[in-house]
Chain A
Amino acid sequence: MADLSCTIAGIPSLNPFWLASAPPTDKKVNVTRAFRAGWGGVVWKTLGIDPPVVNVSSRYGVHHDTNRQALGINNIELISDRPLAVNLQEIRECRAEFPDHVIIGSMMAPIEERAWKELAVRIAEAGVHGLELNLGCPHGMCERGMGSAIGQVPEMVEQVTRWVKQAVGIPVFTKLTPNITNILWSAEAAKRGGADAVSLINTVNSIVSVDLDAMAPTPVVDGKGTHGGYCGSAVKPIALNMVAEIARNPFTADLEISGIGGITTWRDAAEFIALGANGVQVCTAAMLYGFRVVEDMADGLSQWMDEKGLTSLSQLHRMAVPNVVNWNDLNMAYDVKARINPDLCIECGRCYIACEDTSHQAITMTDLGNGRKRLEVIDDECVGCNLCSITCPVPDCITFDRVDAGTESVTWPDHPLNPQRLVAAE
């Protein structure tokens, strides 16, 4: 089996699977169970300056699909609501009991140099392998000038990172908020501040649902709700893009990345690593299914790596990064047409109606008279949009054939129909 051990920001880890700073890493009892279940590391629930925060009751909301699967959840919890000393004592105990497992201390403070430095030193003294700076919490803490209130201002991201780097000698992870126009602004700021790695993403600002009886956003706290941090499967696409942007941006390409956001399966983890993550963090998947989800994450990842002939994660790391390009670099001569496999097709008609109503009227549905139907693609109409294969309930039933010669390559800047090009040529 492929070797899943790895190094993140210079910290060796048994595997790339860490639990993100959140309730799963809130206390010694959780962390102990997590390490026993197979997680390589944890980022301890964010610590702040005493007195500890106080949380409300009714804390999480959910975006369900019609089958009650949680697409994503949000939360309005604050940082650790236990005294700092208690947390630090438990970190010490866990470090002693699990010397091979990684513990990162997550921290947050108001935008004051002394506050950040003193807290960083205290946590570092508890023996953590590194520090993660929580600049992302998009609810509650930001109203107190912390969390995303800092993470949304690149100058502050840089400043805070620099303060902590000056205070401690251990690796520093700057955790980025996705609630920002361009992730590169804060990633670059973190790098300028001296971060060893960036962790992303923190939660996405959200209202997951409105309770139509209470007429209030969920979770409803005595008749009222507030925006909260969204996470889980639904945010993975947002996170992947942000990770890729950092990985392919020359100035940040060498920043180490702890990929976070919706990671639920080994495949998700493989995708993050291929796009530049050195390791991954998981929160929601563990919250929904328990710590045992790591078993298949590890097993499935190494199984897949074996099939691909990959022996270590360093080989997988960044494998897909060179293929992430700007739209303007795509080959416009590339032409694919949908192909429907009649042996797999169950004749549900979804591809037909999807294409007919909302795409390019490129699928015909012929009644064969014997209760059966034949679905076929009209090549001349098909633009290769993929919608049919997306809506098709049968895997691999609709595939795509490349129909251009495969010899020509033309990008938009060079395309004959590009008016800018004509202007430039004149």
Chain B
Amino acid sequence: MTHSVPFLPVISADGHPLTAAQIEQNFSDLHPCLTDLQAMAESNRCLYCYDAPCVTACPTSIDIPGFIRRISTGNPDGAARTILSSNILGGTCARVCPTEVLCQQACVRNRAEDAPVEIGRLQRYAVDHLLDNTAAAYPFARAAETGRRVAVVGAGPAGLACAHALAVNGHSVTIFEARPKPGGLNEYGLAAYKMTGDFARREVDFVLAVGGIQIEYGRALGTDLTLDVLRQDYDAVFLGIGLGDTNALGLVGEDKAGVVDAIDFIAGLRQSEDLAGYCSAASVVVIGGGNTAIDAAVQAKRLGAEEVTLVYRRGPQQMGATAYEQDLAATNGVVVRHWAKPVEIKGNGHVEGLVFERTRLDGGRLTETGRRFEISADLVLKAIGQSLAPAALSGLTLKGGKIVVDETGQTTLPGVYAGGDCIASGQDLTVQAVEDGKRAAKAIHAALSASQR
């Protein structure tokens, strides 16, 4: 099998800050695209299973044996079409899916060999091949215009997947996007070393190339748009607004300079034109135990921070981040401290450190122990979860802070569908958002096809 090269950061050779070139090197691809030779070897490891468990484990049910076989026979563009017909954002998913808990965990090659087929990397090989092949025809043909119009709110993975599937079926889609760029967290959130080379934008362009989709930027539901108006003006509405709010620590001094949301730190990093000038913090503390915390910590380290400490109030088993991601933090020199929670933010105006209290589980409940320690920090990144920005959602039923939908993706408001992080469909993952968008598009298409004009 093809092993990934250990993804180790460049450490300063002379005690001086990293040079711009070193930082750039630190933000190269986590898993570079397989070479033709690697793809040949890896694709030949696939057993072309029947009723393959990897397919079941993929939230978008990509025909994995089907696409891998196409790679092995020298038909990578056919492989890409197979992938994209189930998952239009197969290129991003190939880069960011936690395959170790999805398809690759289910691969039968684990059973006797403990070494799954590297499905994600093969997927990337195929999709990149098609996207790089300027001679290849666009793999989707739009059905004749139906004259039906659908509003999609949010140009993240859920919204894009929904829009694409609707457009293929001949409907006209308008996407209302609050931010100035499309892609959602593909553009603003995913780790920079997973999404190198402006891939998010290239992929959106590929999605839009189907035709029939318009994006209006700077249009936020709740600000200059209401659900009522959308429902009147369009035949159906899809909400793919993600999670717009972040949770706060609830500590005094949280407003001190240098205490920021990890999400914002990452968004700034993703948009930065000058990584070397982006962050000069020497001691960084990240609070949280999920994807976002790990990504923030690893990226802070790779920007050249001397010390990065990730503090989580529970143990490794309870972390939202997969074992692979925890390993990635460890190999990147992030110090991970479990069983501690912040209780005090120190500093005058600008943060200087954090006081933590040790925690433990007592009868299933997290309790404080009274034992404290301090870590100095000139940057604190909060990654303790995101939540739905409720402002614009009046009329929708929410549960557990997420929009309630039925099994087709329809909310409690007829004609209004939702998907992605803003609903409780599964894990908050790109691939799940794509599946949600796809599912809602199917239901919308069925409803529009059935209804009289």
In the assembled complex, the CB of B135 is this many whole angstroms from the nearest CB of chain A, namely 15
Any B CB within 8 A of the CB of A393: yes
Residues of B within 8 A of A181 (CB): none
Any A CB within 8 A of the CB of B52: yes
Q: Which of A346, A350, A353 contacts B111 (CB 8 A)?
A: A346
Q: Which of A344, A350, A371 contacts B49 (CB 8 A)?
A: A350
By the criterion CB–CB under 8 Å, are A68 and B51 in contact?
no
Any A CB within 8 A of the CB of B53: yes
Residues of A within 8 A of B48 (CB): 350
In the assembled complex, the CB of B123 is this many whole angstroms from the nearest CB of chain A, namely 18
By the criterion CB–CB under 8 Å, are B40 and A67 in contact?
yes
By the criterion CB–CB under 8 Å, are A66 and B44 in contact?
yes
Any A CB within 8 A of the CB of B112: yes
A371 to B101, CA, bound (A): 13
Any A CB within 8 A of the CB of B47: yes
A144 to B109, CA, bound (A): 54
The interface bits of chain A over 384-395 (1 if a CB of B lies within 8 angstroms of the residue's CB, else 0) are 000000000110
Residues of B within 8 A of A346 (CB): 108-109, 111-112
Any A CB within 8 A of the CB of B72: yes
By the criterion CB–CB under 8 Å, are B53 and A344 in contact?
no
A394 to B56, CA, bound (A): 22
- Max count, chain A CB within 10 A of own CB: residue among B50, B51, B112: B50
By the criterion CB–CB under 8 Å, are B112 and A66 in contact?
no
The interface bits of chain B over 69-111 (1 if a CB of A lies within 8 angstroms of the residue's CB, else 0) are 0001100000000000000000000000000000000101101
Q: Which of A344, A349, A371, A393 contacts B50 (CB 8 A)?
A: A349
Q: Which A298-356 residues have a C-beta within 8 angstroms of B?
A: 344, 346-350, 352-353
By the criterion CB–CB under 8 Å, are B108 and A66 in contact?
no
Residues of B within 8 A of A353 (CB): 50-51
Q: Which of A349, A352, A373, A394 contacts B112 (CB 8 A)?
A: A394
Residues of B within 8 A of A350 (CB): 47-50
By the criterion CB–CB under 8 Å, are A344 and B112 in contact?
yes
By the criterion CB–CB under 8 Å, are A66 and B40 in contact?
yes
By the criterion CB–CB under 8 Å, are B108 and A68 in contact?
no
In the assembled complex, the CB of A414 is this many whole angstroms from the nearest CB of chain B, namely 41
Residues of B within 8 A of A29 (CB): none
Residues of B within 8 A of A393 (CB): 47
Any B CB within 8 A of the CB of A54: no
Residues of A within 8 A of B51 (CB): 349, 352-353, 365, 373
Residues of A within 8 A of B72 (CB): 66-67
Residues of B within 8 A of A365 (CB): 50-51
By the criterion CB–CB under 8 Å, are B73 and A66 in contact?
yes
Q: Which of B40, B44, B50, B73 contacts A348 (CB 8 A)?
A: B50
- Max count, chain B CB within 10 A of own CB: residue among A67, A349, A365, A393: A349
A397 — nearest CB in chain B belongs to which residue? B112
By the criterion CB–CB under 8 Å, are A67 and B53 in contact?
no
Any A CB within 8 A of the CB of B413: no
In the assembled complex, the CB of A66 is this many whole angstroms from the nearest CB of chain B, namely 4
A204 to B108, CA, bound (A): 39
Any A CB within 8 A of the CB of B330: no
* A contact residues, range: 10 to 19
SS class, residues of chain A in contact with chain B = loop
A350 to B51, CA, bound (A): 9
A66 to B106, CA, bound (A): 24
By the criterion CB–CB under 8 Å, are A347 and B111 in contact?
yes
A348 to B55, CA, bound (A): 12
Residues of A within 8 A of B111 (CB): 346-347
A344 to B111, CA, bound (A): 9
A67 to B72, CA, bound (A): 7
Please judge, given known A-B contacts A67-B40, A68-B40, A371-B106, whether A347 and B112 are in contact too, CB under 8 Å: no
By the criterion CB–CB under 8 Å, are A371 and B47 in contact?
no
Q: Which B31-60 residues have a C-beta within 8 angstroms of A?
A: 40-41, 43-44, 47-53, 56
B52 — nearest CB in chain A belongs to which residue? A349
By the criterion CB–CB under 8 Å, are B40 and A352 in contact?
no
Residues of B within 8 A of A344 (CB): 112
Residues of B within 8 A of A67 (CB): 40-41, 44, 72
A68 to B72, CA, bound (A): 10
A394 — nearest CB in chain B belongs to which residue? B112
A394 to B51, CA, bound (A): 18
In the assembled complex, the CB of A389 is this many whole angstroms from the nearest CB of chain B, namely 15
Q: Which A221-278 residues have a C-beta within 8 angstroms of B?
A: none
In the assembled complex, the CB of B215 is this many whole angstroms from the nearest CB of chain A, namely 40
A371 to B53, CA, bound (A): 7
Residues of A within 8 A of B49 (CB): 347-350
In the assembled complex, the CB of B39 is this many whole angstroms from the nearest CB of chain A, namely 11
A349 to B53, CA, bound (A): 10
A88 to B109, CA, bound (A): 56
Q: Which A31-61 residues have a C-beta within 8 angstroms of B?
A: none
Residues of A within 8 A of B56 (CB): 371
A111 to B104, CA, bound (A): 65
In the assembled complex, the CB of B85 is this many whole angstroms from the nearest CB of chain A, namely 22
A66 to B79, CA, bound (A): 15
A392 — nearest CB in chain B belongs to which residue? B47
A357 — nearest CB in chain B belongs to which residue? B50
In the assembled complex, the CB of B49 is this many whole angstroms from the nearest CB of chain A, namely 4
A393 to B109, CA, bound (A): 10
B37 — nearest CB in chain A belongs to which residue? A68
Q: Which A349-385 residues have a C-beta within 8 angstroms of B?
A: 349-350, 352-353, 365, 371, 373
A383 to B241, CA, bound (A): 58
A130 to B286, CA, bound (A): 82
By the criterion CB–CB under 8 Å, are A347 and B44 in contact?
no
A373 to B53, CA, bound (A): 10
A21 to B52, CA, bound (A): 48
Chain A to chain B contacts (Cβ below 8 Å), 27 pairs: A66-B43, A66-B72, A66-B73, A67-B40, A67-B41, A67-B72, A68-B40, A344-B112, A346-B109, A346-B111, A347-B53, A347-B108, A348-B49, A348-B108, A349-B51, A349-B52, A350-B47, A350-B48, A350-B49, A350-B50, A352-B50, A352-B51, A353-B50, A365-B50, A371-B53, A373-B51, A393-B47
Q: List chain B positions with a Cβ less than 8 A from chain A.
A: 40-41, 43-44, 47-53, 56, 72-73, 106, 108-109, 111-112
Given pairs A68-B40, A393-B47, 8 additional interface contacts (CB within 8 A) = A66-B72, A346-B111, A349-B49, A349-B50, A353-B50, A353-B51, A365-B51, A371-B56
